Structure 1
Amino acid sequence: MKKIGIITIHSDLNYGAFLQAFALTTFLNNNSYYTRIIDYRKIPNSPRIYKFPKNIIYKIYNLPRLSRYRRFIAPLLSNERYNSLEELQSFNEEFDILISGSDQIWNPVCGGLNRINPAYFLAFASKDKYKKISYGSSVGSYIYDENEKKQVRKWLNEYSHISTRESSGAIQLESIINKPVKVVLDPTLLLNKDGWLQYASSVKIKSNYVLVYYIDELDEVVSYARIIADKLGLKVALITNMAKRHSKVDINIPHCGPAQFLWLFANATYIVTNSFHGTAFAVNFNKDFVSVIKRNSPQRAQTLLKNVGLYERLLTNIDELDNIPLNVDFKEANIKLDILRNDSISYLLNSIEH
């Protein structure tokens, strides 16, 4: 049995990053590989900073959510924990293959160092001991400068297979390394709805609801949800880590771990999100949805929705709500998603075996 180690962003309290790490590891374990996440704890990208005593209150308020995160991922972590690049230099775990996992690990803005993080290019690992591949590793909207290109080229030349999540990322990387770069699905889409629901945990919520999951721009996303909820006679429910309720929100849902996140998506009547992973789960679970464009990094949602034929669900202006049907026809989208899923699975397994 081949042993595989995955390095990716898994320690931030971010549902999308967390669940993509869980999905890739779980998929490979389900396919008879021994797979673990290399437990490298990077510096969080945008930690909330509060003065005393608010910093203590915030930490206490978030303890239930943090506990749920840790319990969910703990069985999939490697034996050693690495808290710095220096600690990774002694890496010698018994893996045959190392995978740079998905999410924006190749985007310096997201790597925790405010520069390219060599850990996510497997620079700490000997090419003579480990086979190196990538699955869905993303640069996001970042454009490398000439010095960064030289470094990226050096590291990626040690990889046998390279893939990313976005067409724009593939084009940029191909220009740097002069090799083909495969565009694949985000790992969360390697598992279908039934595959995910076995990990869901219920939330006490009595009303039918429009679920809001957002990354920044809360007011804008909630405004979309409020219009839809009023049309359909639903409540607006918000996944949040804030105690204060937004004026247009009916139901605050705090302290969600990944298992509760999955249940809320599976049981929503409608989903409004500006998150790529929120969009991916809405598509995967066949939920009526709109995706509000994330203006600083729209590439991931654009690529996914174009590829499954649902690009009209990506809205740039609230007035566009009047120009699309509220309900989504998933018939053709499901066919296209199955083709993409099978293609991504074939690429991944072939990368490991050859």
Structure 2
Amino acid sequence: MARAGIITFLHNNNYGSSLQAYALQRTLRELGCECLHLDYEPDRKEKIWNLLTSGNDLKLILDGIRKRSVWADQSGARRKSEAIPAFYRKRMQLSAPCRNRKDLRRESENCDLLVCGSDQIWNPVWLNPAYFLTFAGNEKNKIAYAASLGISRLPKSSKIRKIKRWTKNFRAISVREQEGMELLEQMTGLKADVMPDPVCLLTRDEWNGIAGDAPEGEPYLLCYFIGENADYWNRVRQLQAETGLRVLVMPVTAESYRSGYELLDGAGPEEFLGAVRDAACFCTDSFHGLVFGTIFGTRTDVCRRYREDDPESKNSRVDQFLRDMESSSLEEMRKQGREWLQRVLYKTHKA
């Protein structure tokens, strides 16, 4: 049995990130892999090193400080930040904590295969070589599953050179968006496959199997926004007037906490699933929110988080999923992703 080590975002306090990580680990286990996630949460020194070597903007650190200041003032946000690691302990296998490249190298030594993905781990805005598996030697089998670049325009040339260097020793690469596939080929000459996000690899019944109880009370309009935009709340008021539903907000931003609506605060990933599943209507700007709304058959109203002319727009992931749903079905996407993984696992095992 092959032993796989997976790396993705685990510590960004985000429901979608935690649930896609769970889905990929569960799928690989079902396909015959013994696997764990490398529990990567870089320390301050590692973050500074990465900022200096990857050419990322200092505003990323400032944005992180701003978000943490919002969460620090809210007891519900603190409960959520505790609930996500508790979900990992309950549902997944993680390595010992990894705070830097040395730790990652140590924890991956006994792995036959290293997998990076999914989520926006290859987004040039916050480039990090760890998510390209650079901590391991070239003798390791390396694959990327549905890695997202998250952008629709080429980054600056210095980042292109890094991405080209960091991807040249992969056995197989799949990305999550068509735009990402095209950009990666322009940057590196590599032809990647386009595969669905890991949350699509599990069925509705499988997600129901871990979903928590629905919020009590009258039917509700659920709101879950990652970004801040006054137009979101205009849309919420329109939907409330149209449906007459009680409004329930899962807060992330300072704007959400100030919305004046009833809050569903401090929920963990399982409670998030239950809330989306049983909502009468769901309004969100979240990519994974859209996908879970679709999986559960919940009426979902999507707000676009970025302007179309924003060079850092990440709307391509929403567009890709909506295109997929026009031409395919969730079951076909599930089959496509699992078959790709099965082929790659067979090839790397034979190599």
What is the TM-score with the length of structure 2 in the denominator?
0.84
8 Å CA contact 1:38, 1:77 repeated in 2: no
Q: Which residue number in structure 2 is paired with residue 344 of structure 1?
A: 337
Maintained 8 Å contact 1:37/1:77? yes
1:60 deviation in Å?
A: 4.9
Q: Deviation per CA, 1:156-186, whole angstroms, max 9, x where unpaired? A: 1110111111111100111223232111111
Deviation of 1:92 (Å)? 4.2
Indicate how the Cα distance of structure 1 residues 58 and 100 shifts in structure 2: closer, same or farther if over 3 A, else same: same
Are 1:200 and 1:260, in contact at CA under 8 Å, matched by a contact in 2? yes
Kept in 2: contact 1:212–1:273 (CA 8 A): yes
CA shift for structure 1 position 57 = 5.3
1:190 equivalenced with 2:195 (yes/no): no
Deviations 1:43-92 (A, max 9, x none): 686424499xx789527553321221111012524332111234334444
8 A contact 1:271–1:288 mirrored in 2: yes
Tell me the residue number matched to 1:264.
275
Structure-1 residue corresponding to 2:86? 71
Query: In structure 2, what is the Cα distance between the partners aligned to 1:212 and 1:227?
Result: 13
Alignment-derived partner of residue 308 in structure 1: 325
Q: Which of residues 278, 282, 286 is equivalent to 2:293?
A: 282
Is the Cα contact below 8 Å between 1:39 and 1:77 reproduced in 2?
no
**8 Å Cα contact 1:209-1:229 kept in structure 2:** no
2:55 is aligned to none
1:145 alignment partner in structure 2: 156
Deviations 1:264-323 (A, max 9, x none): 0111011111111111111111111121112131100001101212xxxxxxxxxxxxxx
Identify the residue that residue 249 of structure 2 maps to in structure 1: 238
Give, as a single letter, the amino acid of the residue that structure 1 aligns with 2:21. A
CA distance in 2, matches of 1:82, 1:8: 12
Paired residue type of 1:62: A
Counting aligned pairs with the same residue, the percent is: 27
Q: Does 1:32 align with 2:32?
A: yes
Relative to its length, the structure with more helix (as a share) is 2
| Distance across 1 between alignment mates of 2:66 and 2:188 | 39
**CA–CA distance in structure 2, aligned partners of residues 291 and 206 of structure 1:** 24
Distance (whole Å) between structure 2 residues aligned to residue 306 and residue 244 of structure 1: 33
Q: 2:131 aligns with which of 102, 116, 120?
A: 120
In the alignment, the residues of structure 1 paired with residue 195 and residue 167 of structure 2 have an alpha-carbon distance, to the nearest angstrom, of 17
Give the length in aligned residue pairs. Answer: 320
In the alignment, does 2:224 pair up with 1:213?
yes
In structure 2, how many angstroms separate the alpha carbons of the residues matched to 1:206 and 1:157?
Answer: 54
Could you say which residue in structure 2 is the equivalent of 1:330?
none
1:106 aligns with 2:127: no
In the other structure, the counterpart of 1:80 is 96
Secondary structure in structure 2 of the residue aligned to 1:47: helix
Q: Deviations over 1:7-43 (max 9, x none)?
A: 1011110111111111111121233321211111146
Provide the residue aligned with 1:15 in structure 2: 15
Deviation digits for residues 203-227 of structure 1 (CA, Å, limit 9, x no counterpart): 5420101111111125322321221
Deviation of 1:150 (Å):
2.3
State the alpha-carbon separation in 2 of the partners of residues 342 and 135 from structure 1. 14
CA distance in 2, matches of 1:190, 1:340: 7
Mean CA deviation greater in 158-167 or 193-202: 193-202
Structure 2: how far apart are the matches of 1:264 and 1:340? Answer: 24
Change in Cα spacing, 1:86 to 1:277, as seen in structure 2 (3 Å) is same
Q: Name which structure has the greater RCO, CA cutoff 8 Å, separation 6+.
A: 2
Q: 1:52-71 maps to which residues of 2 (within 5 A)?
A: 58=73, 60-71=75-86
- Code of the aligned partner of 1:36: L
The one of 210, 231, 244 equivalent to 1:199 is 210
Secondary structure at the aligned position of 1:201 is classed as coil
**Change over 3 Å in CA distance of 1:151–1:96 after alignment to 2:** same
Return the letter of the residue paired with 1:146.
S
Paired residues of 1:245 and 1:252 also in contact (CA < 8 A): no
Secondary structure of the structure 2 residue equivalent to 1:290: strand
Unaligned runs of 5+ in 2: 48-59, 307-312
**RMSD, matched Cα:** 2.4
Match of 1:324 in 2: none
Secondary structure, aligned partner of 1:351:
helix
Match for 2:84: what amino acid? Y
Residue 123 of structure 2 aligns with an amino acid whose one-letter code is N
